[in-house]
């Protein structure tokens, strides 16, 4: 049976998928948790991404918009952000992977801030799909048994509609809103890459565009301390009858 499953995993990377593949292979791979290998995650990302597409199409979402979300996840998961501002070969020329454009993260130098192994980068992308399938109003995936397969080793919640909220504002994220406006949601790192954070499933989350703006280059812990300190100072200023604070409150009411 083990050899049969391993053979199926290799085949799942290329063959046309059917419902039985989702039901058999996703649990088998997920049960390996962080012990998965390159072949496992290559099959898993194909299984999860195709399942995402299928359930979204079944729910009557537009195929072109679904593909846009899938491209967004690939560019934020397995692929790096552009790592050079312009082409070093020919001014104005589109960059290729070697010249600074997006490339597979595991092809970068291990010391590069965008580097991640193929396993980790792919699991990040899988996590983005599962977070999206856990948004408010997401298509029902209950018949595929995903609910607890990835909790807690990859996710902090069940894969059920309405279980995922923005990690900064803690607001629910609506699936339909995301499909209609992909830029409203961004991928973020709780500990920013510029600060020494890594592209690892435990450090990556989808968040509202506004939340990413608010966080900036701070860690979430730094952000919360900054917000508490700022609110406290404003409250103190108001209690001390600060003219500026009163004017601020008047202008924002």
**Three-class secondary structure of residue 145 per DSSP:** coil
pLDDT in tens, the chain (253 residues): 445 666 666 666 666 888 988 999 999 999 999 999 999 999 999 999 999 999 999 999 999 999 999 999 999 999 998 766 666 666 665 555 555 578 899 999 999 999 999 999 999 999 999 999 999 999 999 999 999 999 999 999 999 999 999 999 999 999 999 999 999 999 999 999 999 999 999 999 999 999 999 999 998 899 999 999 988 988 888 788 777 777 777 777 6
Question: What's the predicted TM-score (pTM) here?
Answer: 0.88
Q: Find the helix packing angle between 243-252 and 220-239, rounded to 10°.
A: 110
Cβ-proximal residues to 117 (8 Å cutoff; 6+ apart), any chain: 105, 106
Q: List strand residue ranges (DSSP E) for 114-193, in order.
A: 185-189
d(CA 193, CA 197): 4
Q: List strand residue ranges (DSSP E) for the chain, in order.
A: 185-189, 204-208
* Residues present in the chain in total: 253
Closest to 26 in 3D by CA, of 2, 7, 9, 3:
9
């Amino acid at each position: 049976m083990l050899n049969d499953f391993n053979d199926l995993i290799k085949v799942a990377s290329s063959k046309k998928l059917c419902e039985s593949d989702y039901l058999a292979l996703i649990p088998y791979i997920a049960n390996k948790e962080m012990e998965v290998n390159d072949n496992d995650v290559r099959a898993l990302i194909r299984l999860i991404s195709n399942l995402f597409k299928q359930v979204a199409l079944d729910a009557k979402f537009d195929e072109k918009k679904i593909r846009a979300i899938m491209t967004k996840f690939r560019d934020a998961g397995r692929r790096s952000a552009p790592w050079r501002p312009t082409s070093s070969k020919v001014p104005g020329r589109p960059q290729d992977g070697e010249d600074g454009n997006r490339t597979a993260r595991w092809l970068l130098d291990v010391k590069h801030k965008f580097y991640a192994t193929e396993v980790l980068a792919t699991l990040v992308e899988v996590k983005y799909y599962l977070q999206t399938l856990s948004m408010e109003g997401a298509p029902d995936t209950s018949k595929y048994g995903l609910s607890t397969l990835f909790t807690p080793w990859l996710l902090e919640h069940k894969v059920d509609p309405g279980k995922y909220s923005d990690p900064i504002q803690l607001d629910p994220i609506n699936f339909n809103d995301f499909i209609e406006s992909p830029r409203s949601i961004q991928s973020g790192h709780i500990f920013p890459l510029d600060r020494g954070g890594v592209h690892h499933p435990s450090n990556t989350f989808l968040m509202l565009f506004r939340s990413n703006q608010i966080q900036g280059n701070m860690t979430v812990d730094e952000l919360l301390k900054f917000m508490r300190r700022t609110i406290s100072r404003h409250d103190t200023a108001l209690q001390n009858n600060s003219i500026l604070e009163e004017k601020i409150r008047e202008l924002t009411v």
